[in-house]
Amino acid sequence: MKRLGVNIDHVATIRNARGGLHPSPLNLAKKAIKFGADSITIHLREDRRHIKDVDLKNLSKTKIPLNLEIACNYKMMKIALKNNPKFVCLVPEKRKELTTEGGLNVVKYYKKIKYIVNKLNNKKIRTSLFINPKIKDIIYSKRINANCVEIHTGKISNLIKNKKNYSKELKIIKKCAVFADSLDIEVHAGHGMDYKTTKILSKIKEIKEFNIGHFIIAEAISIGLKNVIKKINKFIKK
């Protein structure tokens, strides 16, 4: 069955706006799992703009399936190894970006990524690479020994939201998902997704996991976290 991962970064964003302890990312993570999420994603950015080290520490102490997104460098690798989350997703990171822009350059940074992935794999941490929907990137992900790839869905999400033709991009994602699956790489999808994007992409049977953050947290303000997760799961878990 397909899975839903809920990214709670922007719960921390709201908390940090006032400098207090509320809302608690840990408490919301527990509620998300209770309401039907399969895992929780947090992105510990190098500038700590939302999720803090204490959030990672607190979540690591629970039995919540935790997917830790980190920049692909040795400092963040050491933090991951110390906290030992169930999953790690390596992502590109730029200080000035509002959100993750594009996938990892797995060709240019092949040796570095392979080293980090091997270190994580040796500790039995499931590894994922956040990549653009390109066949070449999937080939390199296999050589790197990544367990999974998460396909960047930002482009198709924007096309759908702006009511533009997305058929070409959908075919590209489908082709990449089928190819990755044929190499025994588990396929995930993430970035910019909402109800409509999730409904469309959920029809690709090779995509096993959807990681959604900003939309879920924003929509939860209006209709509640339980209702958002329930609506999304209707598309994912048919």
Catalytic residues: 43, 69, 191
Q: Where are the alpha helices (DSSP H) in 25-166?
A: 25-34, 53-60, 74-83, 110-122, 135-144, 154-161
**CA contacts within 13 A on the Cβ side of 107:** 7
Query: Per the omega criterion (within 30 degrees of 0), is the bond before 23 cis?
Result: yes
User: Is the separation of the CB atoms in 116 and 74 below 8 Å?
Assistant: yes
Q: DSSP assignment of 163-232, as one string?
A: T---HHHHHHHHHHHHHHHHTT-EEEEESS--HHHHHHHTT-TTEEEEEE-HHHHHHHHHH-HHHHHHHH
Which residues are CB-neighbours of 78 under 8 A, at least 6 positions away? none
